[in-house]
Structure 1
């Protein structure tokens, strides 16, 4: 077996966790990742400290790095949307001992991965086969620490990835319950974005808003135990909050599809796979399709989940391979 070419180190940096891997390329050009490790961002004072830990732990030698991170990528200084880490792109090569170091938006990386995936890397929600189109727009929507949104513009089988900050669009309620939720949250925040609700931390906001609506005591729960209780079904209120969260995701994903003129939507992020058999795809799809006069058209838009375990890292590795 021919030895794989080592392209460098890639990372997928979110508000909660940072994932690292080595990017490899076969003789036929096939890109892969190896030695994947995940670290909590709160356990390291800086990105550089986490990077050095990874390199030492896997005994890696690299000339190039490509790092995907949550938030807009600026030239001089990058601050993560949900983490205190600050990265300065021009200083990274010297600080990390690399010849080149590039930063991209995390959802740009996920969208690059989606554009490179085959049918085996997707699970279509209606059970049909999903594959990328030769022409048209694919919207990528991913709830995690925040709400990532991107798009892939296909033309003649060639893909152009367009990163966005679409998760920060305003929240638009679709029924009386959600109107109450919006009013409740406007009493706490100057603005309510889609990300405020449709994200990992957003389940907490959904939960306390529903508690207020139902006249229950408002005791803000911790995010992780709330998700665990919802996914296990051990708490009826947590489970109801998750069902409402799925409805909100369907609504937002449908709005994104309309805004981007999409022929397909791919749902990314680590939350949906963890929901497992409690994922009510019909509940999500019913909200996705519920666009009034455009409902018939919405039924023609394929909706799929990513089944690949590390789309962010794979997308970063693919981008690194394209650059070298």
Structure 2
């Protein structure tokens, strides 16, 4: 590749770091690579490896979406051990510009560039395209953002909506809350609605029912549930989907986002058929007097795996970010 013609974009989560190159002013991704975070001591090691693979030793600018709050120049990843200083990385790699944004802010911006063919309709009516749009999804953590209309188009909110309190609604959920409080103290919805959260939920249901919980990883729970050969795994995944629906519905009411809901993250695309037949819709719409708002709001599952990279490319060229 010709040196200096490309910008670098990245989407760095708790488990994987995805990188790509884009031509300046474009969101068309090339040289996409996914690296396992555990294979690298820190961000600069992963960046160097990626650029070596591409045969590029210098780019003019970069934008990374990270699964972490971004305040000041120091970044500590929420769900892995990486930490870095934005200005130090910019200087080390000789970039003219280095933007770092929250990963779900990037997801929201990326949704603007996802083709209709990569959106799976889950439920809901036509919505109001002039209203805000919620972007949420479980992966290593639970991310949340929103697209808000402005004069020039759309802007994205940086939020930590995945860390709102878990709100139990029946005796079983009260028991789940007590079990998780004993482990974590405060219990946010992310303690349930993410990869590790699915395992937490499975173990809590097992403890309540006084049965064994032999599965020790979220991917094993989803596999058993999809095979329909493990009642506890099926029950857990159904409950997971319903709780995600309730959480997304609460966020719609909070943000007024009847423009639509876009569900992202690493878990849902792997369980699409199960999810579409699950109790998600019941949880999403069950809002009493506010039910008509939720029934009116369209919900889509985003099947584009590189939405965060598209959003990082969008942010790179946006002077407001």
TM-score, normalization by structure 1: 0.91
1:289 aligns with 2:285: yes
Count of matched residue positions in the alignment of Structure 1 and Structure 2: 316
SS at match of 2:112: helix
Tell me: CA distance 1:132–1:290, structure 2 relative to 1, closer, same or farther (3 Å): closer
Give the superposition deviation at 1:34. Answer: 1.0
For the Cα contact (< 8 Å) 2:124–2:298, is it kept in 1?
no
Q: 1:175-225: CA deviations, max 9, x gaps? A: 332122112211222100010001111110110111011111355712332
Give the corresponding residue for 1:71.
68
Higher relative contact order (CA 8 A, sep 6+): 2
For the Cα contact (< 8 Å) 2:127–2:298, is it kept in 1?
no
Give the corresponding residue for 1:141.
136
For the Cα contact (< 8 Å) 2:113–2:310, is it kept in 1?
no
Equivalent residues in 2 for 1:47-126, closer than 5 Å: 47-60=43-56, 61-126=58-123
More displaced 10-residue stretch of structure 1: 279-288 or 221-230: 221-230
Distance 1:183 1:127 in 2: 34
Tell me: CA distance 1:217–1:117, structure 2 relative to 1, closer, same or farther (3 Å): closer
Give the superposition deviation at 1:35. Answer: 1.3
1:13 aligns with 2:12: yes
Tell me: CA distance 1:83–1:193, structure 2 relative to 1, closer, same or farther (3 Å): same
Distance 1:131 1:9 in 2: 35
SS at match of 2:167: coil
Give the corresponding residue for 1:242.
237
Tell me: CA distance 1:119–1:154, structure 2 relative to 1, closer, same or farther (3 Å): farther
For the Cα contact (< 8 Å) 1:119–1:131, is it kept in 2?
no
More displaced 10-residue stretch of structure 1: 165-174 or 93-102: 93-102
- Structure 2: 5+ residue stretches without partners: none
Distance 2:228 2:213 in 1: 20
Of 179, 190, 195 in structure 1, the residue corresponding to residue 190 of structure 2 is 195
Tell me: CA distance 1:73–1:10, structure 2 relative to 1, closer, same or farther (3 Å): same
Tell me: CA distance 1:114–1:11, structure 2 relative to 1, closer, same or farther (3 Å): same
SS at match of 2:132: strand
- Structure 1: 5+ residue stretches without partners: none
Q: 1:45-92: CA deviations, max 9, x gaps? A: 000000000000111241111111001012131101101000101111
Give the superposition deviation at 1:101. Answer: 1.5
